[in-house]
Amino acid sequence: MASTGETQGPPAGPALGVQAAPSPPGRSRCTLSSRAPPTHTRPRLPARSATSRQGPPAGLPGRTPEGPRWGGAGWLSRCLPAGASRWRTRSEMTSILRSPQALQLTLALIKPDAVAHPLILEAVHQQILSNKFLIVRMRELLWRKEECQKFYQEHEGRFFYQRLVEFMASGPIRAYILARKDAIQLWRTLMGPTRVFRARHVAPDSIRGSFGLTDTRNTTHGSDSVVSASREIAAFFPDFSEQRWYEEEEPQLRCGPVRYSPEGGIHCAAGPGGPGPA
């Protein structure tokens, strides 16, 4: 595990487009880079792109008929520089939240083959930390067969389905909610190819290339899309609200400073008013 009380800055470096700035007590240290023009000169917003129609980019839950409800002004006002105008409309706030700078969530699992070996389990955990993922939640559990069947429903009928379900229910697993810019793709890259033989050849340093045993016992799982991530996070962390996390925790984790707690194995905001995990 990393050292006690280790703190780190924003997880994806300067590309996040937010600047840490000194701020008065009680106010978050993050600032949005531009000040809006006065209302009467506000430019017309461009037509929504195909990308924006897809909804929130970072694993946000589905939109409600009246539009996303996760753009509450609470966190935004905390992120505005002192004295900044607060005239932004709901759609402008939405576009900020949909910004590619936002942290994205993914579900990562460490499968029974790795959890059974404390050194491998720890090595995978360290890979998560050294690749600058933020650990938002973590839990260990034993999965019931029916839950595995439901989780892997998309593979039902395929030749490996039965052995996959049996294997995933065969011992403890560890589940993480990870956050990072482009978390879904980056975690899958870090895992390496599904098939271990291939992983060893094309990505020998990947997690599966390093620790995978067989195509079934391949060490880790990662969500493959924003929609899957939301569904899978809800399956493992039913009390976790993505909407609330994006409103309350994401801005603070993104803007830093962030503290890693080795005891709990998770990160939380270290700045004033850091909410910590709910």
Among 23, 172, 224, 234, binds ligand RTP (CB under 6 A): 224
Long-range contacts of 260-266 (CB under 8 A, 24+ apart): 260/2, 260/5, 260/6, 260/7, 260/8, 260/129, 260/135, 261/5, 262/1, 262/2, 262/3, 262/4, 262/6, 264/138, 265/1, 265/125, 265/135, 265/138, 266/135, 266/136, 266/137, 266/138
Q: Which residues pair with 261 in a beta bridge?
A: 266
Residues 224-253 that bind Mg ion (CB under 5 A): 224
Structure token pair of residue 137 = 């939640």
Question: CA nearest 108: which of 122, 129, 128?
Answer: 128
The alpha carbon torsion through 126, 130, 136, 140 (nearest 10 deg) reads -10
Q: Which stretch binds ligand RTP (CB under 6 A): 21-29, 80-88, 198-206, 221-229?
A: 221-229
Q: Give the nearer residue to ligand RTP in terms of CB position, either 6 or 224.
A: 224
The letter for the amino acid at 38 is P
Among 10, 11, 222, 256, binds ligand RTP (CB under 6 A): 222
Q: Give the nearer residue to ligand RTP in terms of CB position, either 94 or 219.
A: 219
Q: Which does 125 bind (CB under 5 to 8 A by kind): Mg ion, ligand RTP, none?
A: none
Between CA 243 and CA 70 the distance in angstroms is 5
Per-residue binding letters, 177-196, with ligand RTP (x by CB under 6 A): -----------------x--
Residues 142-171 that bind ligand RTP (CB under 6 A): 155, 160, 164
Asked if 267 is an active-site residue, the reply is: no
Residue nearest to Mg ion (CB): 224
Give me the catalytic one of 117, 155, 221, 267: 221
Residue 218 within binding range of ligand RTP, rule CB under 6 A = yes
The residues annotated as belonging to the active site are 221
Binding site for Mg ion (CB under 5 A): 224
Binding site for ligand RTP (CB under 6 A): 155, 160, 164, 194, 215-216, 218, 221-222, 224
